[in-house]
Amino acid sequence: MAYTYDDQNIFAKILRGEIPNDTVLETEHSLAFRDINAQAPTHVLVIPKGPYATFDHFAAEASDAEIVDFNRAIGEVCRMTGVAADRGDGYRLIANAGADGVQEVPHLHVHVIGGHMLGRMLQPAR
Ligand code: 5GP
């Protein structure tokens, strides 16, 4: 089955400059900005600029340059926000996908969450 992408999603609109965002980092292929509904003192979303709905879509179809840029951007955000494990107290990365993952916005985003103790991993909802 081919991957699809809906370019009317809110992060596509952010990338087109149609709605504002609080940018933390912009690179050639990625953008990082603060989550509008932060769940912790640090809550940044890192997205690829390309049209990928989920992590598996990105991993299957993005170029090597996009994949390297995205991973390095996530690491840089960890360092910039002070949560990096080598000098801060750590963080959690979350990439929700699809219905079971309860993905709200169908454009790949990695949540970088930290700044306080996060507790253990989530429990299943059912
Ligand atoms: P998901 O459940 O898809 O993994 O998470 C989507 C995230 O996007 C949520 O944490 C939500 O607060 C955030 N979000 C939704 N709309 C906006 C927006 O317009 N701007 C920003 N900065 N974050 C948004």
| Domains located in the chain, CATH noted | 23-114 (3.30.428.10)
Q: Does residue 93's CB lie within 6 angstroms of at least one atom of ligand 1?
A: no
For residues 35 and 32, what is the distance between their CA atoms, to the nearest angstrom?
Answer: 9
pLDDT given for residue 87 in this prediction: 84
For residues 30 and 46, what is the distance between their CA atoms, to the nearest angstrom?
Answer: 7
pLDDT given for residue 126 in this prediction: 66
For residues 122 and 38, what is the distance between their CA atoms, to the nearest angstrom?
Answer: 17
pLDDT given for residue 89 in this prediction: 95
Testing ligand 1's pocket by substitution, the residue of 104, 110, 113, 122 carrying the most ligand atoms inside 8 A of its CB is 104
Integer-rounded Cα radius of gyration of the chain: 14
Report, as ranges of residue numbers, the positions in the chain whose pLDDT lies below 70: 126
pLDDT given for residue 113 in this prediction: 98
Q: Does residue 103's CB lie within 6 angstroms of at least one atom of ligand 1?
A: yes
Predicted TM-score (pTM) of the model is 0.97
Q: Does residue 20's CB lie within 6 angstroms of at least one atom of ligand 1?
A: no
Tell me the catalytic residues: 109
65 CB neighbour count, 10 Å cutoff: 10
Cα 13-61-12 angle, rounded to 5 deg = 0
| Interval between CA 20 and ligand 1 midpoint (Å) | 13
Atom of ligand 1 nearest to the CA of 96: 4
